[in-house]
Amino acid sequence: MSTPELASFKPEPKKSNTKLVWAFLAFVAFVAGIWIGTGIGGNEAAAPAAAKPAQTVTTTVNETTAVEVTPQVCLDALGYADEGFSIASEALFAAQRVVEAILSEDLGGAEQANNDIASAADKLRPLSDRYNDAKVDCRTAAK
């Protein structure tokens, strides 16, 4: 004897507490924002004491303002670095072409890309020396 009510009984799936978790996180973030914004975290020194009005004194001051200027050797070093990164980028793309040519068994393409890498290296060597000299001079001038 089976009862039809028990045979068709299916338990309800558990309800997700996602909304409750997000509401709790939003509340915590809200309280933390208020706490940080009002400076409750031990920043008692931030409240200025009421001060008496001070007497106003007018004086004329001739000041010389110092303006920092980037030394030319530093600007030169940055220029050499920019040029060097451009050449290095060309070499990396040529290296990629070498790999692609080898994978497609294109010997001529691999040779041309290899020549491009050698050309980039030839441009980079003297530039590297100029950059290193300017870099040292820049660091000396900045002290």
| Separation between Cα atoms, residue 77 and residue 138, nearest integer Å | 8
Residue ranges in 17-71 assigned as alpha helix (H): 18-38
If one compares 94 and 5, the residue with the highest pLDDT of the two is 94
pLDDT (0 to 100) of residue 143 = 76
Task: Extract the tokens encoding 89.
Answer: 């980028």
Query: What letter represents residue 26's amino acid?
Result: A
Angstrom distances, CA of residue 71 to CA of 42, 81, 137, 142 = 45, 16, 9, 8
pLDDT (0 to 100) of residue 41 = 45
If one compares 2 and 40, the residue with the highest pLDDT of the two is 2
In 56-69, which positions are buried (b, 16+ CB within 10 angstroms) versus exposed (e)? eeeeeeeeeeeeee
Structural contact between residues 113 and 97, judged by C-beta atoms closer than 8 angstroms: yes
Structural contact between residues 84 and 134, judged by C-beta atoms closer than 8 angstroms: no
If one compares 41 and 61, the residue with the highest pLDDT of the two is 61
Which of 96, 89, 134 lies closest to 114 in space, CA to CA? 96
Q: What is the mean pLDDT of the chain?
A: 76
Query: Domain boundaries in the chain?
Result: 72-141
